[in-house]
Amino acid sequence: MKKWIFPFQLAIFFSLLTACEQTAQPGEQKPLLPPGISFIEAVGAQAGKTLIPYQKYKLDNGLTLLLHQDNSDPLVHVDVTYHVGSAREEPGKSGFAHFFEHMMFQGSEHVGDEQHFKIVTEAGGTMNGTTNSDRTNYFQTIPANQLEKILWLEADRMGFLLNAVTREKFEVQRETVKNERGQRIDNRPYGRLYERVSQALYPPEHPYSWPVIGYMEDLNRVNVNDLKAFFLRWYGPNNATLTIGGDINPEQTLALVAKYFAAIPSGPEVKMPEKPQITLDGDRYISMQDNVHLPLLYMTYPTVYVRHEDEAPLDLLSTILGGGKTSLLYKNLVKNQLAVQASVNHPCSELACTFNLLALPHPASGKSLADIEKIIRDTLLEFEQRGVEDDDLIKAKAQMEAGFIFGLQSVAGKVSQLAANQTFTGDANYITRDIARYAGVGKADVLRVYRRYIKDKHAVIMSIVPQGKPEAIAAADNFFPVKRNFAPASDTSAADLQLRQVSDSLDRSKIPVSGANKAVPLPKMWQQSLANGINMLGSQSLETPTTSLLLKIPAGHYFERKEKAGTAAILARMLNESTLKRSAEDMSKALQKLGSSVAISAGNHYLRININTLTKNLDATLALVDEKIRQPAFKASDFNRVKNNAIEQVINNKKDPGYLASTAYRQLLYGDNIAAIGSSGNEASLGSLALQDIKTFYQEHLKPFNAQLIIVSDRSKAQLMASLQYLENWQGKGAELALSLPLPETKTGVIYLVHKDNAPQSAIRIGKRALKLDITGEYYQSTLMNFPLGGAFNSRINLNLREDKGYTYGARSGFRGDKLSGSFTASAQVRGDVTDKSIIELVREIQTYARQGITADELAFMRNAINQKDALKYETPRAKLAFLAQILEHDLSPDFVRQREKIVSAITADDINALAKKHLKLKEMVMVVVGNSHKLKPELEALGYQVIPYEI
C-alpha cells in the first residue's frame, strides 16, 4: 500500500491550531517589513477547515519565505527546498543534483571545510539533506536560540558556495558518492531493480530514465566546472523556498532573513517542467541475475503524475490489490504460501506516477516467475469482478486521516509539508485541495482508473533471478535499452561560468553568537502500578488528538533456549495472525477502519507492543489489542506460513554484507550462548520449532507481572485509567530470566574473513565486549569519550575514512549495552579495493585516540553538542514515549537528565583519556571482514594479521 506522507494525507484536527501572531486579517494593517521583502498572504486557523497556519513572503531576489509559529517546544526547524532534482539534469550528466547534496555540506566561502555539520551538532541540533527526482532539501532542527546561526549557514551556501568548491573536494565527494551507490545499490540484493525498470519504462531522454544517484560513468567524465555550472543554473534564491517553523518571533525572523538572504542575486528564470504522458506499445520483459536467494517479479504500469485527478483513486486501487492482509494479492499469494511477499504501491513524482506490483515466490511452492505473473494477472481480473467494497473506502480514508495527523506531530513534519506544497504547486495551503480530492473518491472512480490505466494496458515486467539461473525468468527479454554513448571527458572551464556575486556590507565571516538556551521543561508525568504487576508511566500531550502506547512484556529473545532461538520473534508474528474471534484479515480490517496501528516485535529482553491511534478510537483499538494478546488462535496454517517465511528471510539476509558482518561479529563476541544468535533465529533453530513450542513459550512468559506500559496521550490520567480498566482482568507471572553471558575464548588480534561473492564493497567490524548499560555511570561516560572518535559526523573515524580518503559512505564507533552485557564496535562498509587501507586507518584512529587522548577543542565540542540537545528530546509523542520508557525500565528519577548534564559539564580530559586507555585496547578486539575473500585474504595477510576464514 502507498505510504501516506505529506502532502497527500487527510486530517481533521488542524482547525484546532492557532494562527501565527502576525496573521493579517482582511482590512487589517500589515506589519512593517524589512526592505526587500513583500508580504504575500497569511493563512490562519479556521473553524471546520484543515490547514497549517503560516505566513508567506517573497524577497525581491525571488526567494519564497514561509513562517509557521509553534511555541509548544523551544526549538525551530529550518528547511531550504530547491526545485531541482535529477529531473533537471541532462542525458550524460546524471547524478549532479545528488552530488550537490554532498557538496553543500563541504563548506562555503565563510564556513570552513566540514564545519557545517560541526556547527549544527555543537549547537545541539540535527541536520541532513535529501535529493529525489524533483527537489533537493536541506534541513536542520535546532534549539530556538540557534536560529540566526542556521540562517547564516544556509545563506552562505546559497550565495557563497562556489569559491569553496575545489577540485580536491570534488574528487573526495565523487568517491563518497560511489561508495553510497555501492552500499545502497550495487552491494545490496535487488539493488538495481528500480534503475533497470526506469530504463525500460521511460524514453532515454526522459529525466526519470536515469537514477537519482546517477551513473558513475557520467560522474567520472565531468569536472568540477560542470558541477559549478549546474549550481549556477538551478540553485538561485528564485528557485528555492525557505520555510521556518517553531518557536519563532515572526518579526525578528523576517529581519534575520533579510539580513542574510536579501543580497543574494537571483539565478536564471526557472519554469515548471512539462509532464508528458508515458505509454508503452507492448509489454516489455527485462531480466537480470543478482546475488540473491529468492527470485523476484516486478510489474510496473505508467499512470499519471502527482496531484493529477486520478492519483487518489489509483492509490486506493493499490491498497485494495496489495495493501496488507486484507488485499487480494495477499490472499492469492502470501496467505496460501505461494509467495513470501507480495505488495502493490502507486508512488507519484512531479512528472509521472507508476503502478507497481511485486512478488517473491516461496521456494517450497514450486511456482515459477511465469506462474506468479499469471496469478497477478488473474488477480486483476478478480478485482474487476469483485469491484470496490464499502470497507475499501472506509479503511483507506481512516488510514489517511491517522497517517496525516501522526506525520505532523513535529514541527519538522509541518514545515516539510508547507515546503513541499509551495515548491510543487505554488500554494503552501494545498492541503485543503488534497483533502478534498481524496475524500471525494468513490467506487466508480476506482473502477474507472483501473480500466483506464491497468486493464489490458502494457507494463514493464522485470525478473530478478539468482546467479546462474537465467532460465528462471518469467519470459525472454524483448526490450533492450539504448546503449549509452559515453562522451569523452568534459573540457568545461572556469571561463565558461557566469558567476553571480553577492554585494553587501555584511561581515559574513563572523559566526552569529547565540543567546542562552531556553529552559526545556521535562514532560509532566504520572505513575501507576496495577494489582497484577503492570507498572505504568504516562504523560499528557495536548498538541494532537492522538494516543501512543508501548507495552513491554518480559518475554524476549533472552528467555529462549539457544536451540530454539527465534521463538519470541515467531510468537510476535503469531500475535498478528488469527485470534479466537476473528481471522488475521478481519483483525487487520478492523484496525484499518480505525486508522490504528499495532506493531508487535521481540527484542532481547522484552516483547514490545507499539500502539498508535487517534484518541477518539482508543477504546476500540485497545479492545482489539487485548484480543490479539489474550486470545490468539495459534492456527497450524498460520504457524507454518510464518515459520517458513522467517526461514526464507534468514536465508535471504545472508546475501546482505551488513547482516553477515553483524552475525559473525555477534557469534565471536558471545560464543556458545543465546546472545550469539540474533533475535530472529537461524535456519537450524527456526527449523526445529513446532507450534507447541510457541504455545508453551506464550503460556510461560506472556504474563502481566513486571510488564511496563508507557503512554503519551492528549487524555488525562483519569480518562486513560478508565480506558485501561480491562487490564486488571489479566493475571499471571512469567518465569524469571536466568542468564549469564560469560566471555568466550575467542582469539583476538586476528581477522575473521567471511566470503561474499563478487562483493564491490567490504563490511568491517572491529570491537570487543564492554560495559553493561548504565544511565549515569561509567558506560554513559564512555559514550562521551567515544563521541569525538566515532560518535558524530565530525568524528575522527568518519572524517578520515569518508571525507579525507573517500573510502566509505560512512564510518562510526560506539558503545551498546543492556542489563547483562555490552560492546564497543567500530564499523564501516568500504570499497573493496581499499579494505586493507581502511583497516589500517581504523586501527590507527583507535590506537591514537587511546594513546594521545582528547583535544581541548573536541572536549568543548562534545560538551556543547550533548548538553544543548534537550529541546529535541521530548518534542513528539514518540520521543516522549522513548524517554518515559527509559525512566520506567531503569527505575530512574526524572532528574537523571540534569545529572547527565552535570556529568557532561564536569568530565575532564583526564577522565576521558583514562576511559579511552581502559576500553580501547586493540589487543582485546576481534576483527570481522565480509567481502571477496579470494582477493582480500592475501591483502589482509600482508598487513601482518592472521586471517581466519569464517562461515555463517
Residues 619-638 have pLDDT tens digits of 999 999 999 999 999 999 99
* Residue showing cell 516483547: 607
Q: What is the mean pLDDT of the chain?
A: 91
From 25-34, 209-218, 505-514, 795-804, the region with the lowest mean pLDDT = 25-34
Give the Cα separation of 139 and 150 in Å (integer).
Answer: 10
Matching residue, cell 554585494: 503
Cβ-based neighbour number of residue 35 at 10 Å: 7
**pLDDT(799) > 60:** yes
User: H-type helices in 595-708, by residue range?
Assistant: 618-630, 636-653, 657-670, 683-687, 691-701
Please report which confidence band the pLDDT of residue 30 belongs to, taking 50, 70 and 90 as the band edges. Answer: low
Q: Give me the residue spans of the domains in the chain.
A: 14-272, 284-407+436-472, 525-726, 751-949
Distance CA 504, CA 518 (A): 32
Is the confidence at residue 478, as pLDDT, over 80? yes
pLDDT higher than 80, residue 453 = yes
pTM of the model: 0.90
Q: Which three cell numbers, joined as nine digits, stand for 565?
A: 532461538
What fold characterizes domain 525-726? Cytochrome Bc1 Complex; Chain A, domain 1 (3.30.830)
Burial class from Cβ neighbours inside 10 Å (0-12, 13-18, 19+) for residue 636 reads exposed
**Pairwise CA distance, residues 148 & 256, whole Å:** 7
Does the pLDDT of residue 9 top 60, yes or no? no
Tell me, what's the pLDDT at 50? 67
As a whole number, mean pLDDT of residues 509-531 equals 88
Band of residue 92 on the pLDDT scale cut at 50, 70, 90: confident
For residue 731, the SS3 value is coil
Of 487-501, 681-695, 721-735, 749-763, which range is least confident? 487-501
Percent of the chain whose predicted confidence (pLDDT) is above 90: 76
User: Mind listing the pLDDT tens digit for each residue in 333-392?
Assistant: 999 999 999 999 999 999 999 999 999 999 999 999 999 999 999 999 999 999 999 999
Query: With 80 as the cut, is the pLDDT of residue 3 above it?
Result: no
What is the pLDDT, as a whole number, of residue 31?
A: 58
Q: Are 168 and 103 in contact (CB under 8 A)?
A: no
For 777, the grid coordinates are 555511570
pLDDT of res. 464: 97
**C-alpha to C-alpha distance for 97 and 207, rounded to whole angstroms:** 12
Kind and range of the H or E element at 127? strand 126-131
Q: How confident is the model at residue 6 (pLDDT cuts 50, 70, 90)?
A: very low
pLDDT at 11: 30
CATH code of the domain occupying 751-949: 3.30.830.10
Q: What is the pLDDT of residue 220?
A: 86
d(CA 629, CA 642) in angstroms, rounded, equals 17
Q: 635: which 3 cell numbers?
A: 492456527
pLDDT band at 48 (very low <50, low <70, confident <90, very high): low
Q: Residue 805: what are its φ and ψ, rounded to 5°? A: -100, -25
Segment 530-541 shows an average pLDDT of 95
Three cell numbers, residue 945: 594479521
The residues pairing with 342 across neighbouring beta strands, listed in sequence order, are 359
Beta-carbon contacts of residue 547 (< 8 Å; ≥ 6 apart) = 611, 612, 613, 614, 615, 618, 711, 712, 713, 714, 715, 720
Look at residue 269 and tell me whether its pLDDT is greater than 80. Answer: yes
With b for 16 or more beta-carbon neighbours within 10 A and e for fewer, the 226-241 pattern comes to bbbbbbbbbbbbbbbb
Q: How far apart are CA 710 and CA 551, in angstroms?
A: 6
- What amino acid occupies position 614? L
- Of 892, 178, 272, 160, the C-alpha closest to 535 is 892
Cβ-based neighbours of 132, under 8 Å, separated by 6 or more: 85, 86, 212, 349
Q: What is the DSSP letter of 17?
A: S
Say what the pLDDT of residue 862 is: 95
- DSSP state, 163? G
The mean pLDDT value for 678-687 works out to 96
Confidence of residue 200 (pLDDT cuts 50, 70, 90): very high
Most confident of 156-165, 213-222, 257-266: 257-266
| Confidence band, pLDDT 50/70/90 cuts, at residue 203 | very high
Question: Which grid cell sits at 162?
Answer: 562556489
User: Quick one: average pLDDT of 659-679?
Assistant: 96
Give me the CATH code for the 14-272 domain, please. Answer: 3.30.830.10
Rg of the Cα atoms in the chain: 28
CA 927 – CA 934 distance, rounded (Å): 18
- 284-407+436-472 CATH choice from 3.50.50.60, 3.40.50.1100, 3.30.830.10, 3.10.105.10: 3.30.830.10
Residue 378: how many other CB atoms lie within 10 Å: 12
In this structure, what C-alpha cell is assigned to residue 192? 538495481
CA atoms within 13 A on the CB side of 799: 16
State how far the alpha carbon of 10 is from the alpha carbons of 311, 327, 930, in Å.
14, 21, 45
Q: Which residues contact 503 (CB under 8 A, 6 or more apart)?
A: 263
Residue 157 has pLDDT above 50, yes or no: yes
Per-residue pLDDT at 166: 86
CB atoms within 10 A of CB 324: 19
Mean pLDDT (whole number) for 684-709: 97
* Topology match between the domains 14-272 and 284-407+436-472: yes
* Rounded CA separation 911/679 (Å): 36
pLDDT greater at residue 872 or residue 803: 803
The C-alpha atoms of residue 346 and residue 797 are separated, in whole angstroms, by 40
Instruction: For 423-449, write each residue's pLDDT tens digit.
Output: 999 999 888 788 788 889 999 999 999
Tens digit of each residue's pLDDT (9 = 90 or more) over 228-256? 999 999 999 999 999 999 999 999 999 99
> Nearest Cα to 884, choosing from 406, 526, 408, 405?
526
What is the pLDDT averaged over residues 508-515? Answer: 90
Going by their DSSP bridges, the two strands 947-949 and 126-131 should be labelled as unpaired
Question: Could you tell me which residues come within 8 angstroms of residue 389 by beta carbon, excluding any fewer than 6 positions away?
Answer: none
pLDDT of residue 245: 96
Judge whether residue 7 has pLDDT over 70. Answer: no
